[in-house]
């Protein structure tokens, strides 16, 4: 059974794909000067931060092919939650990865979304019946 969000059926695979494309786009965008995602943008990033976004996007885009979207969402959600907690405690603790206040709040929202999606959304095709078990 898929959940309906904003009138659209969403499952763990589709959420992983959507977030994967967003992470890839943000990771690429961060390498170019812009007012949103850059070292002088609203969200402070550097090369390490951009690479983390690219890797996160790659993991999320690969997960549906390995039937592991729920697991990928849960693990990345927990990692982003840990980064959020560390970021709220001290910016200096993550000095190798440029981070600022807006980053912390965005990471908190992403962590919540990924953890929720990983635990609450079904994987694609879980409601299918196959003849192999009949």
Q: Secondary structure of 98-119 in the HEC alphabet? A: CCCHHHHHHHHHHHHHHHHHHH
Q: Tell whether 24 is covered by a domain.
A: yes
In a domain, 19, yes or no: yes
First to last CA, the chain: 21
Number of domains in the chain: 1
Radius of gyration, CA atoms only, the chain: 16
Q: Residue 25, class by beta-carbon neighbours within 10 Å (0-12 exposed, 13-18 middle, 19+ buried)?
A: middle
pLDDT of the chain, 134 residues: tens digit per residue: 555 555 567 899 999 999 999 999 999 999 999 999 988 889 989 999 999 999 999 999 999 999 999 999 999 999 999 999 999 998 788 888 888 899 999 999 999 999 999 999 987 655 444 455 55
Domain assignment present for 5: no
Q: Is position 1 within any domain?
A: no
Apex CA 113: angle with CA 18 and CA 63, to 5°? 45
Q: Note whether residue 130 is domain-resident.
A: no
Residue given tokens 């402070």 in the structure block: 44
Is 129 domain-assigned? Answer: no
Q: How far is CA 129 from CA 50, 68, 121, in A?
A: 41, 19, 18
Give the span between the Cα atoms of 11 and 69, in whole angstroms.
Answer: 9
Residue 41 belongs to domain spanning: 10-122
């Amino acid at each position: 059974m898929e959940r309906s969000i904003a009138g659209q059926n969403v499952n763990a695979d589709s959420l992983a794909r959507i977030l994967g494309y967003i992470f890839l786009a943000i990771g690429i965008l961060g390498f170019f000067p812009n007012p949103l995602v850059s070292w002088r943008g609203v969200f402070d990033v550097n090369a390490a931060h951009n690479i983390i976004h690219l890797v996160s996007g790659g993991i999320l885009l690969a997960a549906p092919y390995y039937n592991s979207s729920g697991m990928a969402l849960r693990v990345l959600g927990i990692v982003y939650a840990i980064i959020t907690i560390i970021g709220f405690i001290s910016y200096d603790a993550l000095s190798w990865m440029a981070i600022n206040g807006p980053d912390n709040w965005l990471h908190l929202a992403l962590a919540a979304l990924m953890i929720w999606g990983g635990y609450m959304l079904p994987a694609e095709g879980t409601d299918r019946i196959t003849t192999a078990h009949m």
